[in-house]
Amino acid sequence: MALRLPVYMDNNSTSPCDPRVVDAMLPYFTEKFGNAASRNHAFGWQAEEAVENAREQVAELIGASPKEIIFTSGATESNNLAIKGVASMYRKKGNHIITCVTEHKAVIDPCMRLERDGWKVTWLPVDPLGRIDLQQLRDAFTDQTILVSIMAANNEVGTVQPIAEIGAICKEKGVLFHTDAVQAAGKIPLDVQKMGIDLLSISAHKMYGPKGVGALYVRRKDPRVRLDAAMDGGGHERGMRSGTLAVTGIVGLGAAAEIARKEMPTESVRLKAMRERLRVGISSQLDYVEVNGHPTERLPGNLNLSFGFVEGEGLMMGIKDIAVSSGSACTSASLEPSYVLKALGADDERAHSSIRFGIGRFNTDEEIDFVIQDVVRAVNHLRDMSPLYEMHKAGIDLKTVQWAAH
């Protein structure tokens, strides 16, 4: 099979829609176009049946019951609904939330919004591999704590948190536990019962479904979780999320969840093998390459590498035929190093030299081999132009060099 360029290796940002998902969705654009809330004719019943089927498919992926699944527009909405919904509903009980510094912005920003509105937020640090310390979590609880929100797996460095242990601590303290499982769902096994999870956010487009649709799991018993709605209207989704349901997208999310549940055992083994092939292939040919995140407790398809003496943005420009993302969020005006890598203790140089490879369902070994070859070529080329790499190899400690001003 001929290699098709560019190679897509940014599956942590978004994943292509699985053709089987598209096939499941197609009829709901045209002949099955009913509104799932239209209760008095066949078109509505057909749409409602499709939605309830998808609810079952999503619930099965995470060990929940279908009634506990609320459909949303995606992970950002799910996270906002979980965090702000709990904060508002349980305000009389307490005003303290515990989260972590390496969360996705869709958790950090709602927590910061609550801080501005008078809630107290504890921001737990992480160790150099990206995991929180369970003792620090225990110590953070107060009699005002109402919610703990810790992501299942990190979007940048792929580190998986000890979710079951966190869930057990929250149960022991009688505090609700929310997890942003966007990167984890469909990639690693999740069970809301065994892991003591009360709220869990999912996004379809991270697991080969369509963009613009997601779900929030909300526990119904032991304890029954109640949320203040962010959107008021017709009382759809148990009153937690009003608005006409996006039937086509929901059908796609359901199909994606079912495929992920059935294929996860074999797919995760294959992705991990490709990840290791990529890691070994690159690090056996280049020196000063470091893995960011946990070496073993990580997502099967995530590899985040720092390349010493190379600038991440420059490297990305040097590998134009590969779609990856850089550790530093290069927004138009700022070249700030990634806050996730900084939280792991990486200095600016290491943070700026990192590249995230997101390996997914449709990648091949042939593509992995091309990526190895191209990255090695580009890094060698950039280092050949770098006096710093030469000086370091000559034994000069770059931290002691006094740079003369012109």
pLDDT (average), residues 136-161 = 98
> Given a cut of 70, is residue 327 above it in pLDDT?
no
Contact 344, 129 (CB under 8 A): yes
Read out DSSP for 38-64?
Answer: -TTSHHHHHHHHHHHHHHHHHHHHHT-
Question: How far is the C-alpha of 76 from the C-alpha of 107, rounded, in Å?
Answer: 8
Contact 361, 267 (CB under 8 A): yes
The class of domain 19-260 in CATH terms is alpha beta
pLDDT (average), residues 126-146 = 98
Distance of CA 360 to the CA centre of its chain: 14
Domain spans, the chain: 7-12+265-400, 19-260
pTM for the model: 0.95
Catalytic residue positions, numbered: 330
For 177-224, write each residue's pLDDT tens digit.
999 999 999 999 999 999 999 999 999 999 999 999 999 999 999 999
Question: How far is the C-alpha of 15 from the C-alpha of 252, rounded, in Å?
Answer: 13
For 1-59, write each residue's pLDDT tens digit.
679 999 999 999 999 999 999 999 999 999 999 999 999 999 999 999 999 999 999 99
The domains spanning 7-12+265-400 and 19-260 adopt the same CATH topology: no
Nearest to 240 by CA among 99, 84, 58: 84
Check residue 332 and give its pLDDT: 42
Question: How far is the C-alpha of 328 from the C-alpha of 104, rounded, in Å?
Answer: 14
What contacts 108, CB < 8 A, 6 or more positions away?
99
Question: How far is the C-alpha of 145 from the C-alpha of 96, rounded, in Å?
Answer: 4
For 89-127, write each residue's pLDDT tens digit.
999 999 999 999 999 999 999 999 999 999 999 999 999
For 296-320, write each residue's pLDDT tens digit.
999 999 999 999 999 888 999 999 9
Contact 182, 75 (CB under 8 A): yes
Check residue 1 and give its pLDDT: 65
7-12+265-400: CATH, from 1.10.1060.10, 3.90.1150.10, 3.40.109.10, 3.40.430.10: 3.90.1150.10
